[in-house]
Amino acid sequence: MVAPGLEDRPLDGSEDDRVPDGERPAASPWHGPSPMRWVLFAVIAISVVVLDQLAKAWIVANLDPGEAVEILGDWLRIVHGENSGILFGMLPQSAGAFAVVSLVVVGLIVWYHARAGRGLLVTVALALLLGGAIGNLLDRLRFGSVVDFVDMGIGAWRFYTYNLADAAITTAIVLLIAMAVVPALGEWAPDG
């Protein structure tokens, strides 16, 4: 014999899925990233900016523009490059215009994180994007161009010269594309 009212409850202690939706407590709405998630966002972005700017400061102090140092033979070199355009040298002589665009992008990244930064990978991707955008923005404001220094390739077959900010931006874009293709990745390790 079962006590009255207990005959319809599951025996495993789990919540009863047979409760009508109208009687279930409403899930509390998400109100944006928690303070700890904002701290993580800031720490990643600041780390990218600091590492990027330290590397660029070393390059500017130790290599003349165009000067190269071989790290792994011809395959990997450190070269003091200057890019007055955008990614991969497109739109040269437009650093000033892209400094303004970068300021808008920085604001949009922070705004978007406040609304969509629930999943851990979203926070990481947006923080990498923010740090990279700020790193290159600082170059445009200080030098009128972006300092690039990583040069990879074999002989005349070279990849575009890039910097740590570019690497962070590229990693962020890959993560964002992966989350667009597999939406569950964006919900992994949710905040709150």
Is 166 part of the annotated catalytic residue set? yes
- Cα angle: 55, vertex 57, 62; to 5 degrees: 95
In a domain, 166, yes or no: yes
In a domain, 6, yes or no: no
Query: Residue 29, SS3?
Result: coil
Instruction: Write out the two tokens for 22.
Output: 């109208």
In a domain, 148, yes or no: yes
Asked if 16 contacts 10 with a C-beta cutoff of 8 angstroms, the reply is: yes
**Helices and strands counted in the chain (H then E):** 4, 4
In a domain, 13, yes or no: no
**What residues make up the domain containing 117?**
34-187
For the segment 121-165, what is each residue's pLDDT rounded down to a tens digit?
A: 999 999 999 999 999 999 988 888 899 999 999 878 888 889 999
In a domain, 128, yes or no: yes
Asked if 133 contacts 100 with a C-beta cutoff of 8 angstroms, the reply is: no
DSSP 63: -
Instruction: Write out the two tokens for 71.
Output: 């790290």
Instruction: Write out the two tokens for 11.
Output: 């025996």
In a domain, 23, yes or no: no
What gap in Å lies between CA 120 and CA 32, rounded to an integer?
13
What gap in Å lies between CA 108 and CA 37, rounded to an integer?
18
In a domain, 112, yes or no: yes
What gap in Å lies between CA 33 and CA 109, rounded to an integer?
14
This prediction has a pTM of 0.76
Catalytic residue among 52, 139, 148, 151: 148
Domain count, the chain: 1
Catalytic residue among 52, 139, 151, 166: 166
What gap in Å lies between CA 44 and CA 54, rounded to an integer?
15
Mean pLDDT is lowest, of 20-24, 26-30, 76-80, 82-86, for 20-24
For the segment 22-68, what is each residue's pLDDT rounded down to a tens digit?
A: 555 555 676 778 889 999 999 999 999 999 999 999 999 999 998 98
3-state secondary structure 71-113: EECECEEEEEEEECCCHHHCCCCCHHHHHHHHHHHHHHHHHHH
For the segment 88-104, what is each residue's pLDDT rounded down to a tens digit?
A: 555 555 556 677 788 88
In a domain, 119, yes or no: yes
Is 17 part of the annotated catalytic residue set? no
